Structure 1
Amino acid sequence: MRSREISAFAAEEEKRVLSLRPVLAPQHSSYGDHPHQVYDAWPADDPDAPLVILLHGGYWRYDRMHLTPFAAYLSRQGFSVLLPGFRRSGGEGGYPETFDDITRIVDTLPEGRPYVLAGHCSGGHLALWCAARGLLPQDSPWYSAQLPPAVLALAPLTDLDATRRDGLSEGAALQLLGGETRFEARLPLVDPLTLLKDAGSTGVRTVLLHGEVDEEVPLSQFADYAAVHRDLETVVLPGTGHYTLIEPGAPAAEAVADTLRRLSGERGAVRPPAEDEPEETGQP
């Protein structure tokens, strides 16, 4: 997922987290007819438990399986969790299919329930883009005035132009938008930073959480986005890299769960698991 040299610390973190055994969800369903238009669900026993829709990363190319351990972890913290798949770059996705699927996910899967939209890395980009759909031209098929109640972006890619400039993941941003000849025309419709520059806010409660020593997404992306989003909340975790945010049980993952509790509101529906509660296991 990277195209540059990283430190031994970052390499070990990436290997440790991405080699975790996938966890099977207790429920699976679909939101469309395409094989990628599916989702995994970890429903809470409490019908009033906060709902989290979790968008996976992987530079818009990779599937959701690496995020299943983290989704299962959040379910043990008292959340109902939906982990959707979507059409991806390099296959039958990219522009516009990936964005078509993301809009269908957020427009249909919550079924009227309050929720927090969370995403990691490129999933963070998609979550921030969802928050900015009200800033799109009203004749865009992706425009909507019905926005997520709250967004938590974890180490997100916020700037597709910088992602292209820095050659992240061997041209992932170019692949997403269909190559150099289409990039500039499509960028304003799908880039969170570009959409924000004039408006200054999406109007959606948004928290951007990242690790201080993230070597996967340049820290300038976080700073540049924060500079134009006037009511953004930023949380920086010292000594934390890119992948530890989604490592079940790590202090960074606990901080993510705490932030989700806060964003979900003071409804008293989320509790940490009791010490004697068994943890979920699954087979890949």
Structure 2
Amino acid sequence: MNGSVLSRPAPEPPRTVAVGDDPDQVMDLWPDGGPGRPLVVLVHGGFWRPPIDRTHLRSMAAALNALGLPVASLEYRRVPGDPDATVADVLAGLRAARAVAGPVVAVGHSAGGHLVLHA
């Protein structure tokens, strides 16, 4: 069995919403959770390169949602040489997440952790 997070099957999100005009400026939502729970916002890693996207966090998002937490998974532009676009997208995604759910807890994987700390 391949345990790679990049190839693990996971369900599609119930909703995806745009947080900007670019196709990579979106947020997947698993909105149902227990009352009063903050929205867990996942920010994927992938060393800021185009081939790695938010889909590799879907299994984590689904697992957290199954535990009663509402979850959002952000996508952002990954343009080599343009870190400002990436940072702007993560900030816009976090603002959109707060507009959807109020309090949020941001969690980043790898480069996503760096982006969460920067935000």
Find the partner of 2:102 among 113, 118, 122: 113
Contact 1:60-1:94 at 8 Å conserved across structures: no
Are 2:57 and 1:74 aligned?
no
Alignment partner, residue 41 of structure 2: 53
With the length of structure 2 as denominator, give the TM-score of the two structures: 0.86
TM-score (norm 1): 0.38
Structure 2, unmatched stretches of 5+, are none
Go from structure 1 to structure 2 and tell me whether the alpha carbon gap of 1:39 and 1:108 turns closer, same or farther (over 3 Å shift).
closer
Contact 2:79–2:85 (8 Å) recurs in 1: no
RMSD over aligned Cα atoms = 1.9
The one-character-per-residue Cα deviations of 1:53-93 (angstroms, maximum 9, x if unpaired) are: 11011111111111111111110111100001110134xx7
SS of the residue 1:83 aligns to? strand
> For 1:99-145, what per-residue CA distance to the aligned partner results, in whole angstroms no more than 9, with x for missing partners?
11111112232116111111010000001111xxxxxxxxxxxxxxx
Aligned to 1:102: 90
Question: Identity of aligned pairs, percent?
Answer: 38
2:79 to 56, 74, 89: 89
Look up the equivalent residue of 1:70 and give its one-letter code. Answer: M
Greater share of strand:
2
Amino acid at match of 2:37: A
Where relative contact order (Cα < 8 A, 6+ residues apart) is larger, the structure is 2
> What is the CA–CA distance in structure 2 between the aligned matches of 1:33 and 1:60, rounded to whole Å?
19
Figure out how many residues of one structure are paired with residues of the other and give that number. Answer: 115
1:226-274 residue CA offsets vs partner (Å, 9 max, x unmatched) = xxxxxxxxxxxxxxxxxxxxxxxxxxxxxxxxxxxxxxxxxxxxxxxxx
Q: Structure 2: how far apart are the matches of 1:108 and 1:126?
A: 16
What SS class does the counterpart of residue 16 from structure 1 fall into? coil
Match of 1:246 in 2: none
Match of 2:3 in 1: 16
Unaligned 5+ residue runs, structure 1?
Answer: 1-11, 131-284
Alignment match, 1:31? 19
Contact 2:11 / 2:58 at 8 angstroms: preserved in 1? Answer: yes
- In structure 1, C-alpha distance between the alignment counterparts of 2:89 and 2:109, rounded to whole Å: 17
